[in-house]
């Protein structure tokens, strides 16, 4: 009986020890969606741990291009009194070469110890045929997601404006949750201008005869600078899509599979036509429809006074790509270099507005002087011909001042004789020839009161200026510090508000965007009118923030903008919150 008791006690103690050992053991591994794939397929890599850790560092993913992620998910469950925890960092990869490729080690810090995953080898083969199974999420996304580049004119003239609109079409049966630009088109041999889109809006349209939702992602105006066949490289987007399945959860809600898809608009060829060869001499590259005006601020003045003459070209065309024609004036009008001015706006129809040159003219003598009409030639693509226009002629009347030298010609039947007429005696009367000189004080300036005052005054002035600027600097620094503290409090407040509204998508993303903005305001002193992704990236880079954290922060801002117009799952919302806390913490440590 005693023997049986001791045996039972031994096994009971052993099982308890094994359970505690399992609870205390740390697991950190890399899980792949597949170990062999075609070069046209995607690979998902999950780095999974059973304990929460810090300072996660992914591998370099040599041989792959990251097209999605990192996405973070956390699971914390209690089953029969036993806690099960898991945390996963997910990446979506696209292979860039064939052969055997190795995914290196990822690292994580758990309980002040560093853990690493094992390297994993992947076999990348030739392109494989995509499954046409309607239950396959990848097939559903391929059939229902398209990126299209709409070109207004594929055969323009040289320097004629065209527009390209990139639209992302997706079927109503799938949900687009996140979009990121991974390849930006290059516009070599084009003058290009992006048209800012204030916010993305979902619209209804038709694609190949079927009803689709679409979002206008980018608008660009191009002016070709070279004739012949020019290519516009493709735009590529990384799109996260929720695909509905036939399964439902405990509450009857449909379960979605999230798929990351790279969509490309493809190359576009533009055939640029050469301008006709019979161009007038006054043509200087203007293409479009224009008008020209010459005006002066006055037409009557005295000698040695000045006036302004403005040549203004207005209309629709390549206004920033040619120079305004100059004016021709008589030699008696002294002409100074012009002051350039422009007011040009760019929309999908091209540039519109005006450019002008303002000349300062100073007459030297009395008389009437004509400013000849300004000739301007442009090529009109609508009429396919050159058009020349002229401004009005302006007469400048100089009322008072010296008279110019004149030459009289006396013609006779036998001889022709030229005489030089002496200038009028009254011509130089405006020059003063007599002066009233007053004798100055003959006493010595050296060692006088004025002498010492002249020495002491500059020193006192410098001291006062130093004190003034120092006090102003202290006041400005105190003001900046006060604003920074207030913005930091607001960032924490809105981040807390975002955490409380994880179930309310709209309120969550508004609060998260305000938290990110106030965090930047507190750390970088960036104001609302400077709140652009390009400015944020440059400022964070100057603060020695690593490139990955900068891209992470910009992606969060894009998620906040895009989430207002598209549905988002609870998993996506939780991921965005966790990622925001992480990236704010990392940037705050560095700054």
Q: What is the pTM of this model?
A: 0.52
For residue 94, what are the CA distances in angstroms to 14, 90, 141, 240, 391?
47, 14, 16, 14, 61
Q: Specify the pLDDT at position 408.
A: 38
Q: Specify the pLDDT at position 525.
A: 66
Residue that the structure tokens 């003459």 belong to:
309
Q: What angle do CA 413, 415, 418 make, to 5 degrees?
A: 120
Encoded tokens for 432:
């003063």
For residue 367, give the 3-state DSSP assignment.
Answer: strand
What would the CATH number be for the domain defined by 23-125?
A: 2.60.40.740
Distance of CA 162 to the CA centre of its chain: 21
Q: Specify the pLDDT at position 151.
A: 95
Ramachandran category for residue 518: left, alpha or beta (phi over 0 → left; psi -120 to 50 → alpha): alpha
Q: Specify the pLDDT at position 251.
A: 74
Continuous segment of H or E residues that includes residue 536: helix 533-542
Cα separation, 546 vs 130, in Å, equals 37
Encoded tokens for 572:
């996506």
How does pLDDT run across 160-211, given as a tens digit for each residue? 999 999 999 999 888 888 888 888 888 889 999 999 998 889 999 999 888 9
Ramachandran category for residue 63: left, alpha or beta (phi over 0 → left; psi -120 to 50 → alpha): left
For residue 49, what are the CA distances in angstroms to 74, 75, 109, 281, 310?
10, 11, 11, 75, 72
Classify strands 268-272 and 385-390 as parallel, antiparallel or unpaired: unpaired
Residues 6+ apart with CB under 8 A from 523: 484, 543, 587, 588, 591
In this structure, which topology does domain 480-590 adopt according to CATH?
A: 1.20.120
Q: Specify the pLDDT at position 495.
A: 76
Q: What is the DSSP string of 161-193?
A: -EEEEEEEEE-TTSEEEEEEEEEPPP-TTEEEE
Q: For the chain, which ranges sit under pLDDT 70? A: 1-24, 78-81, 83, 129-134, 404-447, 472-491, 494, 525-531, 564-569
Q: Specify the pLDDT at position 143.
A: 87
Residues 6+ apart with CB under 8 A from 5: none
Encoded tokens for 382:
């609508």
**Best CATH choice for the domain 137-272 from the list 1.10.260, 2.40.128, 2.60.40, 1.20.1070:** 2.60.40
How does pLDDT run across 57-95, given as a tens digit for each residue? 899 888 888 877 777 877 777 666 676 788 888 888 888
CB 118 within 8 A of CB 92: no
Are domains 23-125 and 480-590 of this chain identical in fold?
A: no
List, in sequence order, every residue forming a beta bridge with 46; answer none if it has no partner.
Answer: 31, 90
Q: Specify the pLDDT at position 457.
A: 85
**What are the residue boundaries of the structural domains of the chain, listed by start?**
23-125, 137-272, 283-398, 480-590
CB 380 within 8 A of CB 288: yes
Cα separation, 43 vs 359, in Å, equals 65
Cα separation, 262 vs 295, in Å, equals 56
What would the CATH number be for the domain defined by 283-398?
A: 2.60.40.740
CB 123 within 8 A of CB 181: no
For residue 410, what are the CA distances in angstroms to 423, 424, 580?
18, 20, 94
Q: What is the DSSP string of 398-466?
A: E-SSPPPP-EEEEE-SS-EEEEEPPPPGGGGTTS-------PPP-S--TTSHHHHHHHHHHHHHHHHHH
């Amino acid at each position: 009986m005693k023997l049986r008791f001791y045996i039972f006690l031994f096994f009971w103690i052993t099982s308890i020890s094994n359970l505690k050992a399992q609870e205390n053991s740390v697991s950190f591994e890399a899980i792949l969606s597949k170990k062999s794939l075609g070069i046209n397929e995607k690979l998902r890599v999950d780095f999974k741990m059973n304990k929460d850790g810090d300072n996660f560092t992914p591998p370099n993913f040599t041989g792959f291009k990251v097209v999605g992620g990192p996405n973070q998910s956390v699971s914390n469950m209690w089953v029969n009194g036993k806690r099960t925890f898991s945390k996963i960092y997910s990446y979506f990869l696209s292979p860039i070469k064939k052969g055997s490729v190795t995914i290196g080690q990822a690292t994580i810090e758990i309980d002040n110890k560093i853990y690493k995953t094992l390297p994993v080898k992947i076999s990348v083969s030739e392109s494989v045929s995509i499954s046409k199974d309607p239950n396959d999420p990848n097939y559903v996304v391929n059939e229902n997601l398209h990126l299209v580049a709409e070109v207004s004119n594929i055969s323009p003239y040289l320097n004629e404006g065209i527009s390209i609109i990139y639209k992302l079409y997706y079927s109503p049966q799938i949900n687009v949750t996140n979009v990121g630009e991974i390849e930006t088109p290059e516009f070599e041999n084009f003058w290009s201008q992006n048209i800012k889109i204030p916010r993305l809006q979902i619209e209804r349209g038709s694609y190949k005869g079927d009803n689709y939702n679409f979002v206008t992602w980018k608008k660009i105006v191009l002016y070709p600078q070279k004739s012949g066949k020019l290519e516009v490289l493709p735009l590529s987007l990384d799109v996260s899509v929720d695909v509905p399945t036939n399964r439902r959860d405990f509450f009857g809600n449909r379960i979605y599979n999230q798929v990351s898809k790279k969509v490309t608009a493809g190359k576009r060829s533009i055939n640029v036509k050469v301008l006709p060869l019979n161009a007038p001499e006054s043509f200087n590259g203007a293409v479009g429809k224009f008008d020209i005006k010459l005006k002066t601020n006055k037409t009557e003045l005295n000698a040695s006074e000045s006036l302004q003459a403005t040549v203004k070209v207005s209309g629709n065309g390549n206004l920033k790509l040619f120079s305004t024609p100059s004016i021709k004036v008589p030699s008696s009008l002294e002409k100074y270099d012009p002051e350039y001015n422009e007011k040009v706006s760019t929309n999908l129809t091209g540039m519109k507005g005006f450019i002008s040159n303002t000349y300062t003219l100073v007459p030297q003598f009395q008389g009437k002087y004509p400013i000849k009409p300004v000739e301007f030639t442009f090529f009109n693509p609508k009429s396919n011909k050159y058009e020349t226009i002229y401004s009005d002629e302006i007469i400048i009347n100089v009322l008072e001042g010296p008279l110019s030298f004149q030459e009289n010609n006396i013609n006779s039947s036998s001889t022709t004789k030229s005489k030089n007429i002496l200038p009028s005696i009254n011509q130089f009367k405006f020059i003063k020839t007599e002066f009233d000189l007053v004798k100055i004080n003959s006493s010595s300036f050296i060692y006088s009161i004025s002498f010492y005052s002249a020495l002491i005054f500059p020193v006192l002035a410098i001291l006062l200026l130093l004190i003034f600027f120092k006090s102003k600097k202290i006041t400005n620094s105190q003001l900046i510090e006060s604003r920074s503290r207030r913005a930091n409090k607001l960032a924490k407040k809105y981040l807390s508000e975002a955490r409380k509204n994880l179930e309310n998508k709209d309120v969550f993303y508004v609060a998260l965007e305000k938290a990110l903005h106030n965090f930047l305001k507190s750390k970088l002193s960036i104001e609302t009118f400077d709140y652009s992704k390009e400015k944020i990236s440059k400022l964070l880079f100057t603060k020695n923030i690593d490139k990955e954290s900068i891209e992470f922060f910009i992606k969060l801002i894009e998620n906040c903008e895009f989430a207002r117009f598209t549905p988002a799952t609870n998993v996506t919302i939780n991921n965005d919150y966790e990622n925001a806390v992480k990236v704010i913490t990392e940037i705050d440590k560095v700054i």
